[in-house]
Structure 1
Amino acid sequence: MSDEAFHAAAGEDCHLFGDNNCGFEEVAPTVSVFFPEPFMEFGLPLTAGITKYTLMLVISVLLVMGFWYLATRRAAVVPGRLQSVAEMLVTFIRDQVTRQQMGQAGDKYLPMMVTLFLFIFVMNAMGIIPGLQLPVTSHIAYPAALAIYVYVMWNAIGIKKHGVAGHFVGRVVPGGTPKWILPLLVPIEIAQNFIAKPVTHALRPFAAMLSGHLLLAVFAAGGFYMFNLGADGFLSVVSVGYSGLALVAFVVFTGFELFIMALQAYVFIMLASSYLGEALEGQH
């Protein structure tokens, strides 16, 4: 559970069963859990300084670097366990993502996609690591930065492959389109390809991690809110039963959230590969 949810429920000494029921709305977690106070402020506009997000971002980078260092430092023909995991990850992304979306040309971008997948998954997983418990991607700035990176790569590859005119015309004028419909179709294609795609690319992991973490925080705070051994008589037993159910739901949804974390990382690189494949292909 999140530190904020624990302190909200336990620190207020507010429980459902007993005389100290102040109402769950008083202790329920809110979106404020996604705006931690900075450890250090720089006083620069549009910056929050060094926050918990910054710390977890650094930890995520170190974990990814550490994984690849440990997996490859003693690479052998007969791989060890960690090397086997790394090889299975690379093979899966190559066969199910890059070659599916870009063909053999996708092998050139395989290291990029593998790195993006692992990096996003680790940033997502920060939300269930005890003591951290806040997904990095629940702050829109981080998935937006990765989506912008893919967007720049998409344009750069398309321009290099087909030239400036060839790339942009190919994105906004579908092949075989009658000229009379272009005044209507071109603005739609511009909005879809140059605005909607990068925006939705960033919003998918952000929205999934924000809502998922808030749901877990609600179950955690609710469990503590209902737990009250100091309640009179049978109410204390009832409180244990209800808080136990909340705990079970919390564990179940934590497992489900871990699956969603991996799925969102997969969807992100799947879309990235699709966009880069479009840039390589040219006119659609």
Structure 2
Amino acid sequence: MFDAGCEFDPPSISMFYPEPWYNPEWLPGDTNGVDLYLPLLIIAALATIGLWFWFGKNATLVPSRRQSLGELLVGFIRDSISRPTMGAKGDSFVPFLTMLFTFILAMNLTGLIPGMLPVNSSIAFPAMLAGVVFVARWYLAFKYQGGWHYFKGQVFPPGVPPLLYLMVSPIKFFSVFIVYPLTHTLRLFATMFAGSLVLAVFAYGGNYMLNLGAEPVLTGLSAALAGVALLAFTGFILFELLIMVIQAFIFTLLTSLYFSQSVEEAH
């Protein structure tokens, strides 16, 4: 077999499955347990709590610059997410939506720590968040509309000819209980997963192409190629940062839309 002598070992999806530091015997398999994701999750949670503690510390009627930043973020969530989807009645959900947005963003930003990964590049964590939203959605529906009324409106939409319910209702049931929470999960997970993999390719590739021990011409060429990879890496970091913010926004926006469907009939 032809061997070009290339020793480059590109990053693969195995990077998203770090070896566990502690694997209890009662957990199935050998890849479960406490691994890198847990301390990153704790860091994201503490950063979120610390940020809002810092924003609200010594709050006054005339806000300081620090307090104004927090109020600006709350106003952004209210004016860009809550009110467009739920109207003024959604103001009571602004604290939850704001905390959700900042927590997801913090979980995404752990991927910018050198050598680390976004918490949401493991599907377990977006699935957990989507599960919380799904449960909260149905809780609000039971509270404001009654469980059967909400279920009927979702699965048996009004205005559909009776015979068509045989086709429409199974599709709606599948969408409400499977597709919506699944897409809520996968949209966040897939973007964080793919973005981290691309960043790793640029980082590993740039390091591999840099060969300072070669002949002068080849050393200069390798340095130029590594420099291009570094520039691409830096540019993609900025792009990935934008994606992280957008994905946190989209997840929160969809949450607000789901909540709107749960409470709107009561108003």
TM-score when normalising by structure 1: 0.88
Tell me the distance in 2 between the aligned counterparts of 1:193 and 1:174: 12
Unmatched 5+ stretches in structure 1: 1-19
Tell me the distance in 1 between the aligned counterparts of 2:142 and 2:46: 34
Amino acid at match of 1:78: V
Q: 1:154 aligns with which of 137, 152, 171?
A: 137
Tell me the distance in 1 between the aligned counterparts of 2:184 and 2:32: 24
Q: 1:95 aligns with which of 79, 82, 99?
A: 79
Tell me the distance in 1 between the aligned counterparts of 2:113 and 2:71: 25
Tell me the distance in 2 between the aligned counterparts of 1:128 and 1:37: 20
Amino acid at match of 1:130: P
Are 1:184 and 2:158 an aligned pair?
no
Tell me the distance in 1 between the aligned counterparts of 2:62 and 2:179: 46
Are 1:142 and 2:125 an aligned pair?
yes
- Which position in structure 2 is the counterpart of 1:5? none
Amino acid at match of 1:60: A
Q: 1:30 aligns with which of 12, 30, 34?
A: 12
Tell whether the 8 Å contact from 2:27 to 2:33 is kept in structure 1 after alignment.
no
Tell me the distance in 2 between the aligned counterparts of 1:227 and 1:260: 29
Q: 2:26 aligns with which of 44, 60, 63?
A: 44
Q: How does 1:200-215 map to 2 (within 5 A)?
A: 200-215=183-198
Structure 1 residue ranges, 4+ long, deviating more than 3 angstroms after superposition:
none
Unmatched 5+ stretches in structure 2: none
Which 10-residue stretch deviates more, 268-277 or 44-53? 44-53
- Which position in structure 2 is the counterpart of 1:236? 219
Tell whether the 8 Å contact from 2:123 to 2:186 is kept in structure 1 after alignment.
yes
Tell whether the 8 Å contact from 1:171 to 1:282 is kept in structure 2 after alignment.
no
Amino acid at match of 1:202: T
Pairwise CA distance, 1:136: 0.1
Pairwise CA distance, 1:194: 1.3
Tell me the distance in 1 between the aligned counterparts of 2:228 and 2:64: 41
Q: 2:254 aligns with which of 268, 271, 276?
A: 271
Tell me the distance in 1 between the aligned counterparts of 2:153 and 2:82: 22
- The higher-RCO structure (CA 8 Å, 6+ apart) is 1
Tell me the distance in 2 between the aligned counterparts of 1:276 and 1:44: 37
Percent sequence identity over matched residues? Answer: 43
Are 1:165 and 2:128 an aligned pair?
no
Pairwise CA distance, 1:226: 0.5
- Which position in structure 1 is the counterpart of 2:179? 196
Amino acid at match of 1:105: K
Tell me the distance in 1 between the aligned counterparts of 2:134 and 2:145: 16
Amino acid at match of 2:223: V
Q: How does 1:69-108 map to 2 (within 5 A)?
A: 69-108=53-92
Tell whether the 8 Å contact from 1:166 to 1:282 is kept in structure 2 after alignment.
no
Amino acid at match of 1:101: T
**Aligned with 2:145: secondary structure?**
helix
Tell whether the 8 Å contact from 1:170 to 1:282 is kept in structure 2 after alignment.
no
Tell me the distance in 2 between the aligned counterparts of 1:161 and 1:148: 20
Pairwise CA distance, 1:43: 2.1
Amino acid at match of 1:180: L
Tell me the distance in 2 between the aligned counterparts of 1:203 and 1:44: 28
Tell whether the 8 Å contact from 1:158 to 1:282 is kept in structure 2 after alignment.
no
Pairwise CA distance, 1:112: 0.8
Tell whether the 8 Å contact from 1:41 to 1:48 is kept in structure 2 after alignment.
yes
Amino acid at match of 1:253: F
Q: How does 1:117-132 map to 2 (within 5 A)?
A: 117-131=101-115
Pairwise CA distance, 1:282: 4.3
Tell me the distance in 2 between the aligned counterparts of 1:282 and 1:169: 12
